Amino acid sequence: MEVQIKRGLLDVCVLAAIKYKDSYGYQIIKDMKPYMQISESTLYPILRRLEEGKMLTVYSVEHNGRLRKYYRITEKGQKRLSDFTAEWKEIMSVYSFIMRESDADE
Amino acid sequence: MNKQEFLTEIGRRLEGFPPEEIERSKEYFLEMIEDRMEDGMSEEEAVADIGTVDEAVADILKDIPLTKVIKAKMKPEGKLRAWEIICLILGSPIWVPLLITAIVLIFVWYIVIWVIVISFFVVDLALFASGLAAIVVGVISLAQLEPAAPVLVIGTGLCLIGISILLFIPLLKLAKVTGKLGKKTALWIKSWFVRRKKNA
């Protein structure tokens, strides 16, 4: 996949992983796995970027005698997701147009 | 490698960066390792699964600007001793020009790679403009002269415009490649500063 597209998609995928429920790093990676392979070290700068962009907030929860960081999506993050889906609808309609053309050729 | 070794190594490579930055990335990787171990992996397996220290450090550095990396790595460890300060001052006629040269070289490198691209674009633009001009002149002189010469001029103009349009596509590619080259250079300089620490 093209690097630029993948970068944008990763941001949105991480937001989608915490869309309904707050989550932590390892869980986010596991949730994304069926759709997109991502390593811990790749996730790190993405989480930072999203936090700096105020798309998510971080808080710590005690778990088995240690701290675990949970990520919660903000309103801005939710907006980013809905913007993305709106954009994607447009792209999908173009996609179906492209595919229809190629069907007609055959 | 156990988790302590992994984290110590990350801390060592990032030495000189703001402590909270280092702490943060260590905490992050520690949490990842421990979550894996809870999932049933052994400590060694969990660390191996995270990837290499190199990858981790490269990804941590990715979002930190180049200037910050250099600043962090240039910071002396601990306080300078008196003789070190004297050496620095006495040596300044040597290291100051060298430092300036290094900065200028990096700067010049960026200028050179972009000047090539820009000059190509200017040539392309000139081709397009002269083609346009030729067509305009041809059309105007069509009314005053025998048609042969003006038609030749118009044809030439069309050719020039055609060439400039054809050239534009590979030029865009060239600009893209140059952009990537610039990014690679930045990453190379970053990794040079980090590697220097490792060998020291």
With beta carbons less than 8 A apart as the criterion, state whether A25 and A3 touch: no
Give how many domains chain B has, as a whole number: 2
B26 and B109, same domain (yes or no): no
Over residues A12-28, the mean pLDDT reads 90
Using pLDDT thresholds of 50, 70 and 90, give the confidence band for residue B59: confident
Do B131 and B56 lie in one domain? The reply is: no
Quick one: pLDDT at residue B133?
Answer: 95
Residue B23 lies in a domain: yes
CA separation for the pair A27, A49 (Å, rounded): 19
Last residue of a domain, one of B64, B80, B114: B64
Domain co-membership, B56 together with B101: no
Distance (Å) from the C-alpha of residue A17 to the closest C-alpha of chain B?
A: 17
* Average pLDDT taken over every residue of chain A: 85
Q: CB distance from A26 to chain B under 8 Å? A: yes
pLDDT, residue B200, reads 43
Tell me the per-residue pLDDT of B140-184, one tens digit each, with 9 for 90 and over: 998 888 888 899 999 999 999 999 999 999 999 999 999 888 888
- Is there a single domain that holds both residue B115 and residue B188? yes
**Average pLDDT rounded to a whole number, residues B78-91:** 80
Using CB atoms, pick whichever of B27, B34, B59 lies closest to residue A41.
Answer: B59
Going by C-alpha positions, the residue among A27, A84, A30, A18 that lies closest to residue A56 is A18
The nearest CA of chain B is from the CA of A39 a distance in Å of: 7
Q: What is the pLDDT of residues B98-119, one digit of tens each?
A: 989 999 999 999 999 999 999 9
Q: Please check the confidence at residue A26 and state whether its pLDDT lies above 80.
A: yes
Containing domain of residue A38, as a range? 3-105
The identity of residue A88, as a single letter, is W
User: Which tokens in the block code for residue B101?
Assistant: 């040269």
Please give the Cα distance from B3 to B54 (Å, whole number).
Answer: 15
The residue from B64, B84, B108 where one domain ends is: B64
Q: What rounded mean pLDDT belongs to chain B?
A: 85
- Within an 8 Å CB–CB cutoff, is residue B60 touching chain A? yes
Q: Average pLDDT of A52-69?
A: 87
Least CB-CB distance to A25: which of B28, B51, B62?
A: B28
Q: Do A24 and B31 touch (CB under 8 A)?
A: yes
| Domain count of the fold of chain A | 1
Is residue B81, in this structure, part of any structural domain at all?
no
Spatial neighbors of A35 by CB under 8 A, at least 6 apart, are A13
Distances (CA, A) of A89 to A2, A75, A80: 20, 21, 14
Domain with B159 in it: 93-199
Q: Is the per-residue pLDDT at A66 higher than 70?
A: yes
Are B194 and B102 contained in the same domain? yes
pLDDT, residue A57, reads: 92
Same domain assignment for residues B112 and B192: yes
Q: What is the CATH number of the domain that holds A12?
A: 1.10.10.10
Q: Which of residues 115-174 of B touch A (CB under 8 A)?
A: none
| Most A CBs within 10 Å, among B28, B39, B45, B177, to test the A interface | B28
> Is B32 found in the same domain as B100?
no
